């Protein structure tokens, strides 16, 4: 007899693409009402284009054009569903695998590749409204969870001030903010102190926040059972977060539960947590070989649960026509070419760039070293011409 009886993970679409909401899904069914065929097709397109992008980037890495690539294949359903539930005013803090979310929020995918090409540690202007408040990738596992919580706390402080109040009493209810913050991370990150501290701070200040863990079963080579011996979503409940486990390969489950939780968070319902059960079909990054640490049967089992294939079947049943899929395939091919072209023509930064933004304000060491490097480089040119 288990200590706690877990409900079924929320699921609307079976792996075969049949719309058959399970018991856990019933409570969220209303969230899908606003999704017409146009919206559903857009979500399909999001997933398909991201996969094409992803495949192209893996190819570019294999061809020596990228130092590294971080594939998201298999996780598109979890990502697209949640990202489509976000409103424009929401802020999003990714880890480094949320390519689908980046695209949906308006970031040019060529810029997402830039850091893997070795030309930047960032890649896009987070202050540009066209980029949908999509923050930079963070490579130290779980660090971004605290940045997200701090940002969500700022949303609480803004709303508190707007209400003409000056206190945040311990134990107080959340406050309506009309905007929320989403943070993405993986199952490995849940072992990091920062993710746990982020949940503690979020609960303490009742931040308008959605913690979205993509439990893809593997932290590089280490199975999730090494990180957690309870379902991860239960831990969040222990911190006082509203927490639900979903079938992460069901884009409708991801959309419906994210939509409900984000609405609740914006309305003052406090921090929320989704554990999306999914699977990393590819490697952690192009630097590792999954055949060394996991069984092929497991891969086959999850390939059969592919989020794109099942959604394709579903939207066909909803009236999507062949011409739509043909168009998406053509767009995907075009995107891949655009990415390849963008990567191959990506400019290398000027040598002085490394000194330029270390500090926001003038700094004598940066000025001195930048000037020295310039003189040093110029000394070679002078030597050549002499």
Q: Which residues bind another protein (CB under 8 A)?
A: 120-122, 125-127, 135-136, 138, 140, 143, 145-155, 157-158, 160-161, 165-170, 193-194, 197-198, 200-201, 204, 356-361, 363-365
Give catalytic residues, as residue numbers.
280, 284, 293
Minimum distance, C-beta of residue 352 to another protein, in the bound complex (Å): 13
Nearer to another protein, 2 or 171 (CB): 171
Minimum distance, C-beta of residue 165 to another protein, in the bound complex (Å): 7
Burial of residue 102 (CB within 10 Å: 0-12, 13-18, 19+) is buried
Minimum distance, C-beta of residue 125 to another protein, in the bound complex (Å): 5
Nearer to another protein, 155 or 249 (CB): 155
DSSP state of 20: -
Per the CB < 8 A criterion, the answer to whether 299 and 281 are in contact is: yes
> How far, in Å, CA of 62 to CA of 50, rounded?
18
Minimum distance, C-beta of residue 359 to another protein, in the bound complex (Å): 5
Q: What is the per-residue DSSP string for 145-214?
A: HHHHHHHHHHHHHHHHHHTT-----TTPPP---S--EEEEEETGGGGSHHHHHHHHHHHHHT-SEEEEEE
Neighbour count for residue 158 (Cβ, 10 Å): 13
Minimum distance, C-beta of residue 276 to another protein, in the bound complex (Å): 23
Nearer to another protein, 207 or 254 (CB): 207
**Which is nearest to 209 in space by CA: 140, 143, 266, 124?**
266
Nearer to another protein, 124 or 279 (CB): 124
Minimum distance, C-beta of residue 74 to another protein, in the bound complex (Å): 28
Minimum distance, C-beta of residue 173 to another protein, in the bound complex (Å): 14
> How far, in Å, CA of 183 to CA of 96, rounded?
11
Neighbour count for residue 249 (Cβ, 10 Å): 28
**H or E element in which residue 79 lies:** helix 76-85
Per the CB < 8 A criterion, the answer to whether 194 and 167 are in contact is: no
E strand spans, the chain = 91-93, 181-186, 209-215, 218-219, 222-223, 242-247, 272-277
Nearer to another protein, 38 or 170 (CB): 170
Q: Is the dihedral of CA 167, 173, 177, 180 positive or negative?
A: positive
Q: Is the dihedral of CA 290, 291, 295, 300 positive or negative?
A: positive
Nearer to another protein, 140 or 329 (CB): 140
Quote the tokens at residue 78. Answer: 């979890």
Nearer to another protein, 319 or 368 (CB): 368
User: Nearest-5° angle of CA 156, CA 162, CA 165?
Assistant: 80
């Amino acid at each position: 007899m288990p200590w706690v009886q877990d409900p079924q993970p929320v699921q609307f679409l079976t792996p075969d693409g049949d719309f058959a909401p399970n018991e856990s899904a019933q409570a969220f069914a209303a969230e899908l009402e606003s999704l017409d065929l146009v919206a559903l097709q857009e979500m399909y397109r999001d997933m398909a284009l991201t996969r094409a992008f992803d495949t192209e980037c893996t190819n570019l890495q294999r061809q020596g054009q990228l130092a590294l690539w971080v594939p998201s294949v298999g996780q598109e359903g979890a990502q697209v569903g949640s990202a489509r539930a976000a409103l424009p005013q929401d802020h999003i803090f990714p880890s480094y695998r949320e390519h689908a979310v980046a695209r949906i929020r308006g970031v040019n995918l060529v810029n997402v590749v830039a850091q893997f090409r070795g030309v930047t540690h960032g890649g896009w202007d987070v202050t540009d409204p066209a980029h949908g408040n999509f923050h930079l990738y963070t490579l130290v596992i779980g660090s971004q969870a605290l940045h997200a919580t701090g940002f969500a706390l700022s949303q609480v402080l803004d709303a508190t001030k707007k209400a003409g109040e000056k206190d945040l009493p311990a134990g107080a209810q959340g406050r309506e903010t009309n905007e929320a913050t989403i943070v993405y991370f993986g199952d490995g990150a849940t072992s990091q102190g920062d993710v746990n501290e982020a949940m503690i701070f979020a609960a303490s200040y009742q931040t308008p926040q959605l913690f979205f863990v993509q439990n893809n079963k593997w932290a590089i080579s280490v199975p999730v059972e090494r990180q957690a011996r309870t379902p991860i979503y239960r831990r969040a409940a222990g911190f006082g977060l509203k927490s639900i486990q979903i079938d992460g390969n069901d884009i409708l489950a991801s959309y419906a539960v994210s939509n409900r939780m984000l609405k609740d968070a914006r309305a003052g319902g406090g921090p929320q947590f989704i554990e999306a059960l999914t699977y990393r079909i590819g490697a952690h990054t192009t630097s590792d070989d999954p055949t060394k640490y996991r069984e092929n049967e497991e891969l086959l089992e999850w390939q059969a649960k592919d989020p794109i294939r099942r959604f394709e079947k579903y939207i066909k049943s909803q009236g999507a026509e062949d011409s739509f899929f043909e168009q998406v395939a053509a767009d995907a091919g075009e995107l891949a070419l655009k990415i390849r072209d963008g990567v191959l023509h990506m400019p290398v930064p000027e040598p002085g760039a490394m000194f330029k933004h270390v500090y926001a304000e003038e700094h004598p060491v940066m000025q001195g070293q930048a000037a020295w490097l310039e003189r040093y480089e110029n000394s070679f040119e002078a030597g050549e011409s002499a």
